[in-house]
Amino acid sequence: MTNSFMPPRRTLMGPGPSDVHPRVLSALARPTIGHLDPAFVDMMEDVKRLLRYVFRTQNKLTIPISAPGSAGMETCFVNLVEPGDTVVVCQNGAFGGRMKENVERCGGTLVMVENAWGEAIELEAVEAALKKHPGAKALAFVHAETSTGVQSDAAALCELARTHDCLSIVDAVTSVAGIPVEVDAWGADAVYSGTQKCLSCPPGLSPITLSDRAVEAIRARTSKVSSWFLDLNLVMGYWDGDGGRAYHHTAPINALYGLHEALLMVEEEGLENAWARHAKMHAALRAGLEAMGLAFQVDPQHRLPQLNAVKVPEGVDEAEVRRRCLADYDLEVGAGLGGLAGKIWRIGLMGQSACTNNVLLCLSALETILVDMQANVNKGVAIAAAHEALG
């Protein structure tokens, strides 16, 4: 006889998902009601309000897509890119590669601007590509590259898109609620995120926001959107609050309860306070790691506070360190991807995971394991350095 599944309790400090607060877990267990129930419709309106708050936008089309962050990405591409459209895609990590794949699957004409993994997107190269392809419909880039821990200059990239009269498509999966995301101030056109990173909600929903300019582009399409489920012309009819909602799909009702609660918690803390908390916890983690003798993959000016790419010391089996973190400390940290596989750990400080206890646990676990493995690290200094940084 099969028993109910009881997952172990872990501390999640990988690239996602992040720790989920008991308030959010409790919200998920509330009674299920119909997705057209007036009470649920009222909550939907509040979810839209709260999403506009975390995206820093007044965009009317700001909604959660009923699938994980990858579906938010695909929603933006399948709605905005028609066969033959030229799209400039910036790649400096794994997730820029997924943007490339989306353009190809939409039948778009692809122009790549590539930077080394671990480096920020080079603005001059983007500008050169836009000048060379004056008819480009969109510029797509990753704001916070989860595979490398790099932040690129979203404001400047969106300005380049506007200057060259093309739409901007922005991956903000790891950035929303962790670092400043200023959709209206940037003039961004299509921005997507995920619930499982700095919002600290279980995976399964993808918040997106589209400007009026992007909505006009969708409505002006000459071909049908290739995905029925992600066709915003249809989805808007369900999420539109200006009248009766048209049935499109059965919404993930309880998952939306969880998102609503997670967004309320961000609002209660204050978005700027959440940004400051992530920065403070990063400073403490950095102080401890550097005192231990470990180094970061990314230059300080481009480093994400919520996703830390830490170089593996020479001669250390990085997979064994992660295995022991999980087995001995119930602590999850992430591996490197692509060319950085085996070379870095990805240590997440996202949402509820960005807290003092997690920073100290991570430092203690890494120090103990690395010392036991006879790695060349400094012993007995990391925790004190972190406490000093915390003040």
Tell me if residue 228 falls in helix, strand or coil. coil
Based on the fold, state whether residues 186 and 63 are members of the same structural domain.
Answer: yes
> Peptide bond before 22: cis, by omega within 30 degrees of 0?
no
Q: Is residue 172 part of a domain?
A: yes
- Residue 250 is which amino acid? T
pLDDT (0 to 100) of residue 245: 77
Q: Which domain holds residue 309?
A: 270-390
Based on the fold, state whether residues 188 and 337 are members of the same structural domain.
Answer: no
Based on the fold, state whether residues 78 and 208 are members of the same structural domain.
Answer: yes
Q: Is residue 325 part of a domain?
A: yes
The CATH number that applies at residue 60 is 3.40.640.10
Based on the fold, state whether residues 29 and 154 are members of the same structural domain.
Answer: yes
Q: Are 327 and 350 in contact (CB under 8 A)?
A: no
Based on the fold, state whether residues 296 and 240 are members of the same structural domain.
Answer: no
Res. 104: pLDDT tops 70? yes
Q: Residue 369, Cβ neighbours under 10 Å: how many?
A: 20
Q: Is residue 4 part of a domain?
A: no
Tens of pLDDT, residue by residue over 168-221, are: 999 999 999 999 999 999 999 999 999 999 999 999 999 999 999 999 999 999
Which band of pLDDT confidence, cut at 50, 70 and 90, is reported for residue 68?
A: very high
**Domain termination site, one of 211, 237, 268:** 268
Tens of pLDDT, residue by residue over 308-351, are: 999 999 999 999 999 999 999 999 999 999 999 999 999 999 99
Based on the fold, state whether residues 316 and 354 are members of the same structural domain.
Answer: yes
Res. 231: pLDDT tops 90? yes
Q: How far apart are CA 285 and CA 229, in angstroms?
A: 42
Based on the fold, state whether residues 301 and 360 are members of the same structural domain.
Answer: yes
Q: How far apart are CA 311 and CA 326, in angstroms?
A: 19
Q: Is residue 347 part of a domain?
A: yes
Based on the fold, state whether residues 287 and 259 are members of the same structural domain.
Answer: no
Q: Model's pTM, two decimal places?
A: 0.97
Tens of pLDDT, residue by residue over 255-275, are: 999 999 999 999 999 999 999
Residues 211-234, mean pLDDT to the nearest whole number: 96
Based on the fold, state whether residues 104 and 144 are members of the same structural domain.
Answer: yes
Res. 81: pLDDT tops 70? yes
Q: Is residue 86 part of a domain?
A: yes
Based on the fold, state whether residues 203 and 338 are members of the same structural domain.
Answer: no
**Domain termination site, one of 268, 285, 306:** 268
Backbone angles phi, psi at 100, to 5 degrees: -55, -45
Q: Is residue 358 part of a domain?
A: yes
Tens of pLDDT, residue by residue over 14-35, are: 999 999 999 999 999 999 999 9
**Domain termination site, one of 251, 268, 285:** 268
Q: Is residue 1 part of a domain?
A: no
Mean pLDDT of the chain: 96
Structure tokens at 209: 């926001």
Based on the fold, state whether residues 240 and 299 are members of the same structural domain.
Answer: no
The CATH number that applies at residue 381 is 3.90.1150.10
Res. 304: pLDDT tops 80? yes
Q: What domain count does the chain have?
A: 2
Based on the fold, state whether residues 300 and 341 are members of the same structural domain.
Answer: yes
Residues 273-279, mean pLDDT to the nearest whole number: 98
CA 219, 220, 224 angle in degrees (round to 5)?
Answer: 75
Res. 241: pLDDT tops 90? no
pLDDT (0 to 100) of residue 242: 58
